[in-house]
Chains A and B, each alone.
Chain A
């Protein structure tokens, strides 16, 4: 039954290709732009990462925390690669509470690269109270915590539309064609020229969405570049060694299996 076994192999492959999404039936297919980090040789576009960080700090960080990141990560290899001076300057713009000092008092000081990204709210309750009951999720792992990852983030940012006439939305709820269920509590975050890029790039909504998506993908997976690079080397190595092992096996077995 060689055909049957091939059929099973095929089914196995098909199974592993079923997108695990079942909730996304009613919403539209996600946008899938060409990201710099896609593919076997994927790398982050440094300029895009730096612009993405700017979009995060100037727009997203008003509501969303990124508590797993430290300012030092911004200068780390494979990331936005700000220089150490730039990173120090970035960190010093934020104020953190430290202490207690020798008198047992808490005090404020400016952040250092070793500090965590400053969160906009002291706790979840405060965040909910300020956002009509909705909790803006921490974005440290966002790109791996959503079906579709980067495509999902990018699509949501561009998915805001006027709601169709037959759908009535409550106050504080917005229509987004890519969100499962189509309603979202986050108001449209990006508007044209919401930020002013220092490198002269035009701050269109698409551009900002693209940059911040790149930034968030890096934040979720800061070793992506290293992983892909190491992966490629490992694959080449294994291909060579498996080929050698194959010939060793053939040679060994030729002693008892004379050519037909």
Chain B
């Protein structure tokens, strides 16, 4: 090494900042901590001073509600895990033991069970919100995609969780769903055996389902963090679909959004408690209180209510492989929405024709949900096929076509003008919330 290398004229010297200590808006101990670990300022900027559109309605409380659901699901799940035994001979009785002998076990188990359902109720409303107000459009496409990933993971977790009590529906549901993979040509059979860890659904299947139920649940937490970070970059959409411009259009997160979300959460909690405490088994199936028996098939194998629409789609197609493809792609369609909807207008409030098709889509969802519960015969199959046809037409034909041909209504220039128009009755909005 010669000194020449260090003193060469071509070497450009730049200052470096390995230490980024400083810049905290806080003083004292809080400032000392925040200068070294900027969590307090992140909290201040993103949750106290954070500006959100003034025009948000109660649909925008669902994100917070979902977050609370997720936290409570994890707390109750961890607690249940302390007494649950993932083995085919002990699982059923260990769940019963939790409900009978463990202190407040009945409460925690019913809470976990019903929260799963309420998580789906909230997520369906959350997705509807996105659909109706065009929250998937530029610049929120990635956030929307992350949401759909979360939705898929939720479904996997819910399915895995439903097998854990090892009742009749657990066992037969697991059998039906894992067998769907056998539809894959050539390798299908091997994949199914690989998933089971055995040549039939049994002890090893239950054990790995328990592990995966935990793993994916915490995976959801990870993706939710990304979903929320993305939200704080692109900002909330709002019923007008117009981006805020100045302080006349926005309110700060605290205390305005927090006070509103708190009220919404409490109402949601109230409905949840009514179910959990008075009709805890209403959303489940009675057969799941019969211990799993590989020799007795239940009269009708039905999934939990939140899977029924996709189950109807699966059964409406006589070919198994095509049925599976239709079922998976029916949900994946949502992910294409940002690129299928070409309209520059976000909110359906200003899209009178598209709005009608969304309502039809919601009706279709409920129709399929009903059909998923009915036996796959006669008129039910025909109706399922009509439901399926509209589902795909909605995404692949109606959405792009309407987005090109529709003339949107006259729009206000800003959110505060939108609010003004709303007060004067110039705009028709959703009346439920």
Interface residues of A (CB under 8 A from B): 1-2, 4-6, 8-9, 11-12, 15, 18, 20, 22-23, 40, 68, 73, 137, 140-141, 144-147, 149, 180, 220, 222-223, 226-228, 230-232, 234-235, 238-239, 241-242, 245-246, 248-249, 252-253, 256, 260
Contact = CB atoms under 8 A, between A and B. Distances in A.
A2 to B, nearest CB: 4
Contacts of B431: 2, 5-6
Given A18-B373, A253-B259, A256-B251, A146 B100 contact: no
Nearest to B99: A223
Contacts of A260: 423
B277 A252 contact: no
B355 interface: yes
Contacts of A239: 270
A12 B363 CA distance: 9
B186 interface: no
Nearest to A141: B289
A68 B266 contact: no
Contacts of B93: 68
Interface string B260-294: 10110011011001101110110001110110000
B266 A223 contact: no
Contacts of B263: 242, 245-246, 248-249
Nearest to A229: B277
A5 B260 contact: no
Given A1-B359, A144-B286, A145-B289, A231 B278 contact: yes
A162 to B, nearest CB: 27
A27 B110 CA distance: 31
A249 B277 contact: no
B54 A256 contact: yes
B428 A23 contact: no
A223 B270 contact: no
Given A1-B355, A245-B262, A145 B366 contact: no
Contacts of B366: 8, 11-12, 15
B359 A144 contact: no
B259 A4 contact: no
10 contacts: A2-B430, A18-B373, A22-B300, A40-B278, A140-B96, A141-B289, A145-B286, A222-B100, A235-B277, A248-B262
B259 A9 contact: no
Given A1-B356, A223-B99, A260-B423, A252 B255 contact: yes
Contacts of A249: 259-260, 262-263
B197 interface: no
Given A228-B278, A245-B259, A252-B255, 10 more contacts: A1-B428, A6-B432, A8-B362, A11-B366, A15-B369, A73-B100, A141-B290, A145-B286, A231-B278, A232-B277
A11 B18 CA distance: 61
B363 A8 contact: yes
Nearest to A231: B277
B307 interface: no
Nearest to A23: B299
B96 A146 contact: no
Nearest to B262: A245
A232 B276 CA distance: 11
B390 interface: no
Contacts of A15: 366, 369-370
A23 B300 contact: yes
A227 B370 contact: no
Contacts of B256: 252-253, 256
A11 B281 contact: no
B16 to A, nearest CB: 46
B214 to A, nearest CB: 26
A23 B96 CA distance: 26
B375 interface: yes
Contact of B260 (A73, A231, A253): A253
Of all A-B residue pairs in the complex, the 6 with the closest CB atoms, nearest first, are A231-B277, A145-B289, A2-B431, A242-B266, A245-B263, A249-B259
A94 B5 CA distance: 96
Contacts of A226: 106
B156 interface: no
A7 B255 CA distance: 34
Given A222-B100, A228-B278, A234-B277, A144 B430 contact: no
B374 interface: yes
B270 A238 contact: yes
A143 to B, nearest CB: 9
A22 B270 contact: no
Interface in B235-251: 251
B107 interface: yes
A1 B351 CA distance: 12
A234 B276 CA distance: 11
A164 to B, nearest CB: 23
Contacts of B285: 20
Given A40-B278, A242-B270, A252-B255, A227 B287 contact: no
A15 B124 CA distance: 15
Contact of A141 (B54, B96, B276, B423): B96
Interface in B339-376: 355-356, 359, 362-363, 366, 369-370, 373-375
Nearest to B374: A22
Contacts of B106: 223, 226-227
Contacts of A180: 299
Contacts of A18: 370, 373
